[in-house]
Amino acid sequence: MTSFSNNIFSVDTGYTREKFAAVHLVIENDKVLIIDTGTVFSVKNIQNALERLGLSFLRVEWIILTHIHLDHAGGAGQLMKNCPNATLGVHKKGKRHLVDPTRLWTSVLSVYGEAKAKKLYGELIAIEESRIEVLNEGVEINFHGRVFEIWDTPGHAKHHILIRDTKTKAMFSGDTFGVSYREFDTEQGCFCFISSTPTQFEPFDLSKSIRRILAASPPEIYLTHYSKVGHIQKIGQELLLQVDEYVQIANESKEYGAQTLKVIQEKMLALLMNKAIDHGYTGSKKRITELIWLDVTLNSAGLANWLNASS
């Protein structure tokens, strides 16, 4: 667990590797608001963090999902079972998949296969509809005097929201403002890159969401992958550039037919590797590949899906 100012805490979910995915806690009046849940295997880490803070699951009043991809929401059902006083907030397009996760699980199986899906995510537990609140654009959550605004931020997924803390002006962006692994931090700051995972990546919607974030000039943003970043304007301009670069990679790869996905992967890896090196990362190319290969494969699949959908 990492403690930040203004009663904000990050908890490592334990997904994939250390400091890969975070859950964020906000504490007010000894009550807890949780943003994202990680997988079902992450619930114990959240419990341990609460106990370190002298709190328990009984103090949790809100669990808010930025979107329903399982590295963000796979543990929602179990966490809601453990938090009897909590309301779960989610985009309107995500609600039905939490009440009945059958289609969501089927989608995950199509990406990972059954054995890997169960190893990564365990079991999906349905949530009672009466305990779920739809969080539309413009909704405000008054959490013991601390107001959180809900923004609809499509691009990474159609069911994606962003949570803006009006007290600090900080934002919890899920995957809308990219991913940034702490291993790549250098004297130049954080290295961030776009997440274009399947199946709903829409580059032009994502650019609009990023521009909206930049217009609000938040002092910092809390990413799920991985936690707090600053220098928002600099990062945002780089992310906008990357959206165009991703689209270019996809369009240049169309002519390869059955080899399109492989070509996209090769181009994606080269792009991100070169950017990491230009950012000042001094580790080996092998280490860069190890750190970003999962993202390369998922991002490439997202671009391939986008190509198919837009053709």
Task: Please give the domain boundaries of the chain with CATH numbers for all domains.
Answer: 2-167 (3.60.15.10), 176-218+232-311 (no CATH)
Which pLDDT score is estimated for 139?
Answer: 98
Which pLDDT score is estimated for 274?
Answer: 98
What angle in degrees, to the nearest 10, is found between the helix axes of 232-253 and 285-310? 60
pLDDT band at 83 (very low <50, low <70, confident <90, very high): very high
| CA distance to 16, 66, 67, 201, 245, per residue, from 71 (Å) | 9, 11, 10, 16, 26
Looking at the predicted structure, is the pLDDT value of residue 293 above 90?
yes
DSSP string, 217-264: --S-EEETTTEEE--HHHHHHHHHHHHHHHHHHHHHHGGGGGGHHHHH
pTM of the model: 0.95
* CA gap 133, 119 in Å, rounded: 30
* CA gap 71, 74 in Å, rounded: 6
Question: Between residues 126 and 105, which one has the greater pLDDT?
Answer: 126
The structure tokens 């217009």 sit at: 215
Which pLDDT score is estimated for 106?
Answer: 87
Q: Tell me which of 112-116, 214-218, 232-236 is least confident.
A: 112-116
Which pLDDT score is estimated for 109?
Answer: 86
Which pLDDT score is estimated for 185?
Answer: 97
Average pLDDT for the chain: 96
pLDDT band at 246 (very low <50, low <70, confident <90, very high): very high
Which pLDDT score is estimated for 95?
Answer: 96
pLDDT (mean) for 158-176: 98
Closest CA to 166 of 192, 180, 146, 186: 146
- Whether residue 191 contacts residue 180, with contact meaning beta carbons closer than 8 Å, is answered with yes
- Whether residue 246 contacts residue 196, with contact meaning beta carbons closer than 8 Å, is answered with yes
- Whether residue 22 contacts residue 39, with contact meaning beta carbons closer than 8 Å, is answered with no
Length of the chain (residues): 311
Which pLDDT score is estimated for 210?
Answer: 98
Which pLDDT score is estimated for 168?
Answer: 97
In eight-state DSSP terms, residue 123 is -
Which pLDDT score is estimated for 184?
Answer: 98
What angle in degrees, to the nearest 10, is found between the helix axes of 203-216 and 232-253? 170
pLDDT in tens, 174-223: 999 999 999 999 999 999 999 999 889 999 999 999 999 999 999 999 99
Cis peptide before 246, with omega less than 30 degrees from 0?
Answer: no
Percentage of the chain with pLDDT > 70? Answer: 100
